[in-house]
Amino acid sequence: MKLTKILAAATLVSGLATAAVAEDPTKVGFVYVGPIGDGGWTYQHDQGRLAVEAAYGDKVETVYQENVPEGADAERVLTQMALSGADIIFTTSFGYMDPTNNVAAKFPDVKFEHATGYKREHDNVSTYDARFYEGRAILGTIAGHMTQSNKIGYIASFPIPEVIQGINSSFLHAQKVNPDVEMVVIWAYTWFDPAKEADAAKAMIEQGVDVILQHTDSTAPLAEAAKTPGVIGFGQASDMAEYKPSPRVASIIDEWSPYYVKRVGEVMDGTWENGHSWGGMAEGEVVIGEITAPVPADVKAEAEAMVAAITSGEYHPFTGPIFKQDGSVFLAEGEVATDLQLVQMDFYVQGITAEIPQ
């Protein structure tokens, strides 16, 4: 009897304590790999942070740390953020994968969200990514139509599945509208290095490339394209509107705001659960920026129709028949790639003559 009373009292007290905690603003932390002024990857994540503030006002408090190296420092930064009372922390670069999981083990009450990774070793770790290959399909379509030399270029960062998806998706859709198209791929081995990216763009232009796609985050390739008449490119990660209307004729924008607002809301009402989120155009996470005047109206209409088809789920950019570079079948007629096939993609599709570096 007495014991039940104590238990009841304890439950009541802990209930009150939870209620008291809920009165505090929910603290949301962000860890960035670059400066928030990079105009690309980190900038877009920070826009997501601001969207969370706008959505919840003084019910949330956001903190962030920029320029955090992807090594031992990340683990310390995460720990300090957790110690400072953060309720949920978004770690926004692939290299934070192990640090995120290590710190999550020590703070079971704090939620962790790791961008672009695949390790969820604890119940309080989620991963999230965006289906960039959907946007690449649009850019590939535009590239295939726009190239005069039938040579398009792709400045790639690292040979990981996400990047290879982008290369394949771009090439497949360029080839669909222009069977003679060839693709030059240059590996920059960096996410952000204006000098290296400019060199890659220069080398491509010298080889006769007149449409440049990029999976690196600086505006340097666009600046390089601007120097040569007839060469165009696309904004990457953010709109890169300062290069409108040409050389930037469209852009692929990472829009993290819907996901961040949703997940923070779930933490606030206690419905957050761990898992993997892979949103695309349908979720508003991959957005195509304004398609500018140098692109003919019919091409623009075709691109916009494809955006609509992908958004509605009517069309998947990896729909068979698709063959691997070596001629073997990847997807049979009408077959749609599974997410597992996509996240393990380590081969080029037929028609790309380059090789993936090993």
Q: What does the binding site for another protein look like in residue numbers (CB under 8 A)?
A: 29, 35, 63-67, 69-73, 75-77, 79-81, 83-85, 94-95, 98, 102, 118, 158-161, 189, 343-344, 346, 357-358
Please count the other Cβ atoms lying within 10 Å of the Cβ belonging to residue 86.
Answer: 23
* Closer to another protein by Cβ: residue 55 or 63: 63
Smallest distance from the beta carbon of 220 to another protein, in angstroms? 18
Question: HEC states along 136-175?
Answer: HHHHHHHHHHHCCCCEEEEEECCCCHHHHHHHHHHHHHHH
* Closer to another protein by Cβ: residue 75 or 199: 75
Smallest distance from the beta carbon of 260 to another protein, in angstroms? 17
Smallest distance from the beta carbon of 93 to another protein, in angstroms? 9
* Closer to another protein by Cβ: residue 33 or 143: 33
Cα separation, 213 vs 240, in Å, equals 13
Q: Is the peptide bond before 161 cis (omega within 30 degrees of 0)?
A: no
Contact 213, 193 (CB under 8 A): no
* Closer to another protein by Cβ: residue 65 or 150: 65
Please count the other Cβ atoms lying within 10 Å of the Cβ belonging to residue 61.
Answer: 16
Cα separation, 243 vs 164, in Å, equals 26
* Closer to another protein by Cβ: residue 73 or 123: 73
Q: How many CA atoms lie within 13 A of 348 on its CB side?
A: 18
Please count the other Cβ atoms lying within 10 Å of the Cβ belonging to residue 73.
Answer: 13
Smallest distance from the beta carbon of 224 to another protein, in angstroms? 22
Q: Which residues of 144-181 are buried (b: 16+ CB within 10 A; e: fewer)?
A: bbbbeebbbbbbbbbbeebbbbbbbbbbbbbbebbeeb
* Closer to another protein by Cβ: residue 84 or 148: 84
Smallest distance from the beta carbon of 52 to another protein, in angstroms? 15
* Closer to another protein by Cβ: residue 66 or 199: 66
Mutual orientation of helices 220-227 and 194-206 as an angle, nearest 10°?
40
Smallest distance from the beta carbon of 1 to another protein, in angstroms? 40
Smallest distance from the beta carbon of 36 to another protein, in angstroms? 8
Report strand pairing: 286-288 vs 248-254. antiparallel
Retrieve residue 176's tokens.
């669909």
Closest CA to 100 of 115, 84, 83, 85: 115
* Closer to another protein by Cβ: residue 29 or 144: 29
Cα separation, 210 vs 262, in Å, equals 40
Smallest distance from the beta carbon of 83 to another protein, in angstroms? 5
